[in-house]
A and B are shown apart, each in its own frame.
Chain A
Amino acid sequence: DAGITQSPRHKVTETGTPVTLRCHQTENHRYMYWYRQDPGHGLRLIHYSYGVKDTDKGEVSDGYSVSRSKTEDFLLTLESATSSQTSVYFCAISEFVGQIGGSPLHFGNGTRLTVT
């Protein structure tokens, strides 16, 4: 299994509080992604990173920010959590082999976030 660790695995927080989720990889892969998964919506991309300090938005980036100061760590921050951000969050990593898509995407085990 790819070395991906997400922390925390579960979190309950109150509306309006900041929350940071961490994704740590030991594979030295260039690409890292944050997805959220909700019933009826499937997996939706929040943000992704294509290198240290290189990040870009996905389709549901509003209310989220990311940072990648080291190859191995990709942080997702909810600046002021809302109930609509209650979800399961997955981190994924991928190598760059010739072109994006030439190498598989590997997922972490997810973080279940509940905003009350």
Chain B
Amino acid sequence: DAKTTQPNSMESNEEEPVHLPCNHSTISGTDYIHWYRQLPSQGPEYVIHGLTSNVNNRMASLAIAEDRKSSTLILHRATLRDAAVYYCILIYGQNFVFGPGTRLSVLP
């Protein structure tokens, strides 16, 4: 299985940057890296995805290591609304395989 490893939980202070790491040492050369988040009582929400180059969008930035065996989701200024479970996933076959994710707490 395409497998990712993330910390179980992280804490951040409001208005500070947050760096959420993900290891994916088994990634193949053509696998996209996706990040999603799930707020309490809601469905998962797309955050960002990339293949080789770093990516930016209105929600976050994705930094991909040169060997592609790890990536980091960067929230530039955490807000209380960013408290969620963040999932880093790879594609296995034709499927998006979700792991347990990182629970991010944001402290006021």
Contact = CB atoms under 8 A, between A and B. Distances in A.
Contact of B43 (A45, A90, A100, A104): A90
A105 B96 contact: yes
A102 B30 CA distance: 10
A109 B43 CA distance: 5
A100 B94 CA distance: 6
A74 interface: no
Given A43-B44, A90-B44, A109-B42, A101 B100 contact: no
Contact of B91 (A101, A107, A110): A101
B17 to A, nearest CB: 23
Interface residues of A, number: 25
Nearest to A50: B94
Contacts of A100: 91, 94
A56 B94 contact: yes
Interface stretch (B18-26, B31-39, B66-74): B31-39
Given A42-B101, A101-B32, A102-B32, A107 B95 contact: no
Interface centre among A42, A90, A99, A101 (most CB of B within 10 A): A101
Interface of B: 30-32, 34, 36, 42-46, 49, 87, 90-91, 94-101
Given A44-B98, A45-B96, A92-B44, 8 more contacts: A42-B99, A43-B87, A43-B98, A45-B95, A99-B30, A101-B49, A104-B49, A109-B42
